[in-house]
Structures are given as structure tokens and as C-alpha cells.
Amino acid sequence: MGKLGTAAALAMVLGTAACSNPYDPGQRAVGGGLLGAGAGAAVSGITGGNVGTGALVGGALGAVGGAVTTPSAPAYGPNGGYPPRGYQRGYGY
């Protein structure tokens, strides 16, 4: 795979990883796994190692790291994480 193909693959991985809910551990695991796999493959390719092994190890570490570091959703009340209807930030009500 040439430099253009590698850049396109990296752009796709980063773009896909950005499309996740930051408060869902499953989605964070998938996003972290994609980023980790891309990074592991890239580092292995640069250092002369096995690219497949680097992708597997990076993906596993990224998935675990993404799931473990999931923040808790903000609590705005019964609206499922959204502020109440009519709420305007900064007006004190």
C-alpha cells in the first residue's frame, strides 16, 4: 500500500472513530479499537515489524482503553441528557 492508500485508510479510520457517542462504552470501545488498530499498524510498518500483529495489539489496547475511560453522561433531568425545553444557558433560570 502506497502513501496515498495509507493516508486514505487513516482518514477513514479517524472519520469513523469520530462518529461515536462519547457516553456509550460500546461505541467508545469500537472507536478506540479503530484508532488503536490504525496506530498499531502504522507504528509496526514504520519500525519494520509485522503490520497485522501491530494492528491486533493496537486495536485490543484501544478498545479496552476506550471502554474503560467512558465518562458518565451529564445529568440534566428526565429528558435523557438534554436541558429542559425553553432552557437558555446564562439567564439564571
Alpha carbons 54 and 83: distance in angstroms, whole number: 43
pLDDT tens for 13-30 read 677 666 667 888 898 898
Residue 48 · residue 39 · CB < 8 Å: no
Alpha carbons 92 and 78: distance in angstroms, whole number: 20
Q: Evaluate if residue 10 carries a pLDDT over 80.
A: no
Q: How far is CA 32 from the centre of its chain?
A: 4
Mention every residue, 6+ apart, whose C-beta is less than 8 A from residue 43.
49, 54, 58
Dihedral, CA atoms, 33, 34, 40, 43, nearest 10 degrees?
-150
Q: Evaluate if residue 90 carries a pLDDT over 90.
A: no
pLDDT tens for 40-88 read 999 999 999 999 999 999 999 999 999 999 888 766 655 555 666 666 6
